[in-house]
Amino acid sequence: MTLKFAAIVALAALALSLSACPRRASINVDEAKADGLKTANQWLGLIDAGDYAKAWSETAPGFRKEMSESEWTRGLEGYRKPMGKMLERKVADEQYANKLSDSPASAWGNYVVVRYRSRFEHKNSANETVLTMLEGGRWVVAGYFIN
């Protein structure tokens, strides 16, 4: 896995430390969480099917700007593919935030972080995190982390 690939997927790791943040704009958090979860589940279906290029094309523009399709595909083929077929994935947690961290550099927005407990053909236990964000009126994936 390249350093650039690791840096992009590590974006989702920032979300692991989300704390309750005051809302900047009015949003229905329950609807946001449901929409973020639906987006994450559909996107992971592409990953599970090995359609890494399509998954890349459905990520947020900022994600695609930081990593080319070929870098993304190589990274997943080297890391995710060896795990084998997806056997089981359960949602462990989904969390809404309007900021990813307390850092001044963290942008305001609408984010849903979905964490899964997963089991693969060649890896009995894994944690997957998918960071989704509302962009242009629709939910898109902005980060993916698996360990």
Torsion of CA 111, 112, 115, 118, to 10 degrees: -110
Q: Which two tokens stand for residue 120?
A: 């693969």
| Residue 58 scores a pLDDT above 90 | yes
Domain boundaries along the sequence of the chain: 3-146
Q: Which two tokens stand for residue 49?
A: 């099917």
pLDDT-based confidence at 100, cuts 50/70/90? confident
| Residue 6 scores a pLDDT above 50 | no
Q: Which two tokens stand for residue 128?
A: 């997957």
Report d(CA 67, CA 90) in Å as an integer.
28
Domain 3-146: CATH superfamily is NTF2-like; domain 1 (3.10.450.100)
Query: Measured between alpha carbons, how far is residue 113 from residues 2, 36, 84, 97, 145 in Å?
Result: 24, 8, 24, 8, 11
The predicted pLDDT at position 23 comes to 41
Q: What is the pTM of this model?
A: 0.82
DSSP helix/strand/coil, 59: strand
The predicted pLDDT at position 99 comes to 82
Torsion of CA 28, 31, 99, 47, to 10 degrees: -170
How far is residue 94 CA from its own chain's centroid?
A: 11
- Give the mean pLDDT of 99-127: 87
The predicted pLDDT at position 95 comes to 95
- Give the mean pLDDT of 87-96: 97
What are the two backbone dihedrals, phi and then psi, of residue 134, each rounded to the nearest 5 degrees? Answer: -85, 120
